[in-house]
A = this chain, B = another copy of it.
Amino acid sequence: MTYSDKLISYYKIIANDCVLGVSLDCVIFGFHDTRLKVFLLRWKETDEWCLPGGFIYKTESVDDAASRVLYERTGLNQLFLQQFHLFGDANRYDRDDTWQRQKMPMPFSGAWPDRTISMGYYALVDYTKVTPTADFLSDACDWFDVGELPSLLYDHCRIINVALQTLRLQLNWQPIGLNLMPEKFTIPELQRLYEAVLGRPLDSRNFHKKITGLSILTRLDERRTGKAHKSPYLYQFDQLNYQKALINGNLIFV
């Protein structure tokens, strides 16, 4: 089966078995080397990138579809996954332009609805623990800095921007640090995450004072070694206190 045949067969299945006119897109965030990253797939045989997304089977809930699509397109599962915005504009993007950039081989426009409403989900992953892989629609996948995105298909640039705004607003009542940080980390490393999400530097002394005052961190008997001058202590989240603080919205400190 050629790639073109596979693509035609894929869209035929969708047109038959899925809810038409509704899709979903997932913005997967990771944190690495002081940068907030987003995971993208490269559309096969093109230089165009996009978010992992897909469709909802007729008998499937939209939330279940989001987990399944994410697994099918990236190999990742059991992620922290949240609805964040419905992208419902009548004209979300220039479809002719997008299909041309995608080199869409088949004329499926007859059966295809004129517009697609897309539910946006964001996922948070521990970058050190996951190795996403590209699916058959893609010939590459990679992490990109949120500030340095490549050419994106559809309205995926806007979707990423809205996801990022949501992350900023939700820093204090979603387990964002918990899901994005590795198990053990130093306080300066956690500060880098907050700075990356907020897009601005924070005062170190103030950050240290506030974060340790929240009782959500447990200091370990280990230090990060190998640094030139200091060997800072490692911490991990106190899951119980972290959840309590989230419920009360008490993670606010920046």
| A174 → B minimal CB distance (Å) | 9
| Per-residue B-contact encoding for A2-20, CB less than 8 Å = 1, 0 else | 0000000000000000011
Note all chain B residues with C-beta closer than 8 A to A60: 90
Contacts of A19 in B (CB 8 A): 21, 115, 117
Nearest CB to that of A246 among chain B residues? B169
Does A114 sit within 8 A of B, measured CB to CB? yes
A88 at the interface (CB under 8 A from B): yes
Are the CB atoms of B22 and A117 closer together than 8 Å? yes
| CB-CB under 8 A for A88 and B61, given A19-B21, A249-B252 | yes
- Chain B residues contacting A90 (CB-CB under 8 Å) are 58-61
Give the nearest-CB partner of A61 in chain B: B89
Shortest beta-carbon distance from A32 to chain B in Å: 25
Determine the chain B residues whose CB is within 8 A of the CB of A119 once the complex forms.
86, 88
A58 to B86, CA, bound (A): 16
Instruction: Name the B residues within 8 Å of A114 (CB-CB).
Output: 58
Contact A56 B249 (CB under 8 A): no
Q: Are A172 and B249 in contact (CB under 8 A)?
A: yes
Using an 8 Å CB-CB cutoff, how does the interface string of A43-77 with B read, 1 for contact, 0 for none? 00000000000001011111101000000000000
Within the complex, the shortest CB–CB distance from A147 to chain B, in Å, comes to 20
Question: In the assembly, what is the distance between CA of A114 and CA of B249, in Å?
Answer: 39
Q: Mark A154-177, 1 if CB is under 8 A from B, else 0.
A: 000000000000000101110000
Q: A56 contacts which chain B residues (CB < 8 A)?
A: 88
Report the minimal beta-carbon distance from A246 to chain B, rounded to whole angstroms. 9
Residue A34, interface by CB 8 Å: no
Q: With A and B bound together, what is the CA distance between A39 and B50 in angstroms? A: 41
**9 extra interface residue pairs, beta carbon distance < 8 Å, beyond A20-B21, A60-B90, A86-B119:** A19-B21, A19-B117, A21-B22, A22-B22, A61-B90, A83-B85, A88-B119, A171-B249, A172-B173
13 of the cross-chain contacts (CB-CB < 8 Å) are: A19-B21, A19-B115, A21-B22, A22-B22, A56-B88, A58-B90, A59-B90, A83-B86, A86-B86, A88-B119, A249-B252, A250-B252, A252-B252
